[in-house]
C-alpha cells in the first residue's frame, strides 16, 4: 500500500483534489530570486505547469530567497512530485537560459494541507502580506512577483479592452 503524502490525512488521500500551501527556500538563503529575470522565470515555470494542467496555482509570491505557492493537485499527483517539478524545471531553465551555475534550492520544502475555506483564505492573506511585511512593497498589488499583482494587471487589461 502506498504511503500518503507528508502532512496528508488518510481521508484526504482518497479525495480527488487536494490543496496545499508550499514554501521552499533557496540554498543557504541566498537572494537568488531577487532579480526580475529569475522571478519571471519562476512565474513562467508555474504558468507552464498550469497550461499543461499538471496542477492549479491559486496564489503565489516569489520573494528574494523563498517562494510560497497555494496550489491544488489531482489524485494522480503527489505534493512531492509537484514541488520536484517546479524546483527542478526552474533550476534546469535558470542554468540553461540564464547561465546560473550554482545550486538554487535548499533540499526539501514545507507544506500544509489546506482543508477548510478559512485556512485557504488565511494562506492567501499570508501570501499577499509577505512582500509587505518584508518591506518590498506597500501592498501586494504593487509587488510584481506575486499573483495578486498579476491578477490586477490582467483585470486592468481586460477592462481597457472592453
pLDDT of residue 37 exceeding 70: yes
Looking up cell 507528508, which residue turns up?
A: 6
pLDDT, tens digit, 9 for 90 and up, residues 47-100: 999 999 999 999 999 999 999 999 999 999 999 999 999 999 999 999 999 999
Confidence bin at 10 (pLDDT 50/70/90): very low
Distance CA 51, CA 49 (A): 5
What's the mean pLDDT in 106-119? 97
Confidence band for 2, pLDDT divided at 50, 70 and 90? very low
Q: What pLDDT score does 162 carry?
A: 63
Query: The pTM is what?
Result: 0.88
Rounded CA separation 162/157 (Å)? 9
Instruction: Kindly tell me if the per-residue pLDDT of 133 is higher than 90.
Output: yes
Where along the chain do its domains lie?
12-161
Label the pairing between strands 18-25 and 56-62.
Answer: unpaired
- Separation between Cα atoms, residue 117 and residue 115, nearest integer Å: 7
> How high is the mean pLDDT of the chain?
91
The fold adopted by the segment(s) 12-161 is: Alpha-Beta Plaits (3.30.70)
Amino acid at each position: 500500500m502506498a504511503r500518503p503524502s507528508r502532512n496528508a490525512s488518510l481521508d484526504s488521500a482518497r479525495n480527488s483534489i487536494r490543496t496545499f500551501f508550499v514554501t521552499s527556500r533557496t540554498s543557504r538563503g541566498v537572494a537568488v530570486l531577487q532579480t526580475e529575470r529569475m522571478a519571471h522565470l519562476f512565474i513562467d515555470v508555474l504558468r507552464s505547469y498550469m497550461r499543461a494542467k499538471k496542477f492549479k496555482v491559486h496564489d503565489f509570491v516569489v520573494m528574494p530567497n523563498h517562494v510560497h505557492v497555494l496550489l491544488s493537485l489531482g489524485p494522480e499527483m503527489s505534493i512531492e512530485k509537484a514541488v520536484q517539478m517546479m524546483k527542478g524545471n526552474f533550476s534546469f531553465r535558470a542554468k540553461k537560459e540564464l547561465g546560473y551555475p550554482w545550486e538554487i534550492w535548499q533540499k526539501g520544502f514545507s507544506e500544509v494541507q489546506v482543508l477548510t475555506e478559512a485556512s485557504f483564505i488565511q494562506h492567501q492573506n499570508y501570501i499577499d502580506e509577505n512582500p509587505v511585511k518584508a518591506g518590498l512593497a506597500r501592498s501586494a498589488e504593487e509587488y510584481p512577483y506575486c499573483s495578486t499583482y498579476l491578477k490586477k494587471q490582467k483585470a486592468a487589461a481586460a477592462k481597457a479592452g472592453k
